[in-house]
Structure 1
């Protein structure tokens, strides 16, 4: 029974990845949007300008969907087809790689056409920076950085946790990541209330961000880069970023693309001076397109590894079950001889 569940999880994750590649994000009735409305309702009932209130909010907003996912997984433990469909749907909803690459290509097209007004209007689809005063180089840099970071958040993260914990892992990761986007940023309202969500997101992404960076290094030749250079920049610059995870992905991407990232970022009234990552010049529209291709390749590799890991657990379980049966048979035979 356990083996059938793990097989269904692996097949479901693969199908979910194929659905994302074919259709991108669901255009209507997106489950993540529904979760956002649920989390907003929880926030309205729990908000206080204090960290304990934020911790309670995070526990409820993450705990409820994870509990429901665990219940759904338990109810389908003897129904591999239903479980496969359930995991496929959750994986499709959790992944955002195709839409992320599409947004990057749209930005590249607008920058190539010199339409800065449209490019500035496009940027909020990728990140929260104020685009009003950004020129073409800064718009390109923001896009490359966002694509690199979100390759972990929107692709590798849910696949990693799906490989580790199946359906509850996929749902739980997406809930944590969504909460971080909602309340984890620094602002007057969320400086304390959002701390628990931000820290939980940091913890959930410690491994996926580094897996993303490693896959980026491996995939560098696909976009004309060198894996050696990408590895060097990742190891040298990955820890310079204020985020413990984003810098890993961005540094590896900078090395793979041969560009320099980092600099001055404006978020409304807040200004951040980010350290430079990489050794090249500022990215341009061509580099934005290369970043989109790199993201897709990394996502495809992560999907294959995640499905293989879940299927590998199936094979390991089969081997353990076989060994247990053999041991029981040997013991029974010994008992008969006595």
Structure 2
């Protein structure tokens, strides 16, 4: 029952409380530690930076995962109810979808008003890494919807995937989820070309490996979500198969292309990629439809996670 109960607690915390302030959020703590690593990671040549980045990533991921496993194992021996509640609260720290929805809706309201377009460009930087300072309205909508669809994988499917897989082997669920979150945070902070090319190469590649299966699962649940919401499920499948290769990342293209196909729009990052077909204009209303699509995909993913937990219980009792 561990998987199901912990997921239920995590869901309750997500809807009732949401994300805690950065002062007590583990991901913010990881960011501070990574910032400390960064101070020494760029001092040497290419080989030094690569080895240092590799060691820093593995060290922090191992320490955090080990701490999560030891805590979960200790709490389970102390008190089962405390173990479930604490594990659920901690699991919530590894994923988020309510905050993303609120942020996307806030940016949509800014985009709709000509007088707040500049503010929309500024606040969109919280969702995307590209330069948003001169983007016209359709590109602002595209960037928002791209972020919403891509984040389904990194912010929800991946951490819960590793939690469920780890939980099948005892109390390793939290360790796996937090280990992934550390690598993902490393990638988001230093997994870029430019000055981080060699320092961030290992966490970027490791993040690609860890997201390989979840990214493809994300595309599948988006297609399922499109079917539930009576959007273009078949079109989503066709576009995902063809356009997922157009992004630099081996994984990001899967959920984004599936979402573009389901919504009947074309995502475009200037000088990088175009995903989907132009069947409708890129208006702010597309953001509403994308959230409806991702909400359905999120529901499908939680049903899958609960189903795996139920199947595990049934097999254990057999």
Q: Same fold (TM over 0.5)?
A: yes
The answer to whether structure 1 residue 24 and structure 2 residue 25 are counterparts is: no
The answer to whether structure 1 residue 318 and structure 2 residue 312 are counterparts is: no
Tell me the CA shift for residue 142 of structure 1: 0.5
> Helix, strand or coil for the counterpart of 1:26?
coil
Judging changes above 3 Å, is the alpha-carbon distance between structure 1 residues 313 and 255 closer, same or farther for their aligned structure 2 residues? same
Judging changes above 3 Å, is the alpha-carbon distance between structure 1 residues 214 and 157 closer, same or farther for their aligned structure 2 residues? same
Aligned to 2:108: 108
The answer to whether structure 1 residue 181 and structure 2 residue 188 are counterparts is: yes
Aligned to 2:80: 80
Tell me the CA shift for residue 74 of structure 1: 2.1
Tell me the CA shift for residue 19 of structure 1: 1.7
Are the equivalent residues in 2 in contact too, given 1:9–1:167 (CA < 8 A)? no
Are the equivalent residues in 1 in contact too, given 2:153–2:215 (CA < 8 A)? yes
Aligned to 1:333: none
The answer to whether structure 1 residue 96 and structure 2 residue 96 are counterparts is: yes
> Helix, strand or coil for the counterpart of 2:129?
coil
1:30-58 deviation per Cα after TM superposition (whole angstroms, max 9, x unaligned): 12111211222234355544311211111
Q: How does 1:1-338 map to 2 (within 5 A)?
A: 7-28=1-22, 29-47=24-42, 48=44, 49=46, 50-78=49-77, 79-114=79-114, 115-165=116-166, 166-188=173-195, 190-264=196-270, 272-319=271-318
Structure 2 unmatched runs, 5+: 167-172
Are the equivalent residues in 2 in contact too, given 1:11–1:307 (CA < 8 A)? no
Are the equivalent residues in 2 in contact too, given 1:224–1:257 (CA < 8 A)? no
Aligned to 2:169: none
1:259-298 deviation per Cα after TM superposition (whole angstroms, max 9, x unaligned): 011240xxxxxxx422433343452200111112222222
Judging changes above 3 Å, is the alpha-carbon distance between structure 1 residues 45 and 289 closer, same or farther for their aligned structure 2 residues? same
Q: 1 CA distance for matches of 2:185 and 2:174?
A: 17
> Helix, strand or coil for the counterpart of 1:262?
strand
> Helix, strand or coil for the counterpart of 1:261?
strand
Larger Rg: 1 or 2?
1
Are the equivalent residues in 2 in contact too, given 1:160–1:208 (CA < 8 A)? yes
Are the equivalent residues in 2 in contact too, given 1:14–1:303 (CA < 8 A)? no
TM-score scaled by length of structure 2: 0.90
Tell me the CA shift for residue 202 of structure 1: 0.6
Q: 2 CA distance for matches of 1:178 and 1:207?
A: 18
1:112-148 deviation per Cα after TM superposition (whole angstroms, max 9, x unaligned): 2222112112201111111111110110010111111
Q: 2 CA distance for matches of 1:202 and 1:22?
A: 32
Q: 2 CA distance for matches of 1:202 and 1:280?
A: 31
> Helix, strand or coil for the counterpart of 1:104?
helix
User: What is the number of equivalent residue pairs in this alignment?
Assistant: 305
> Helix, strand or coil for the counterpart of 2:267?
coil
Moved more, 35-44 or 116-125: 35-44
Judging changes above 3 Å, is the alpha-carbon distance between structure 1 residues 291 and 135 closer, same or farther for their aligned structure 2 residues? same
TM-score scaled by length of structure 1: 0.85
Q: 2 CA distance for matches of 1:30 and 1:307?
A: 26
Are the equivalent residues in 1 in contact too, given 2:41–2:199 (CA < 8 A)? no
Tell me the CA shift for residue 242 of structure 1: 1.5
Tell me the CA shift for residue 211 of structure 1: 0.9
> Helix, strand or coil for the counterpart of 1:242?
coil
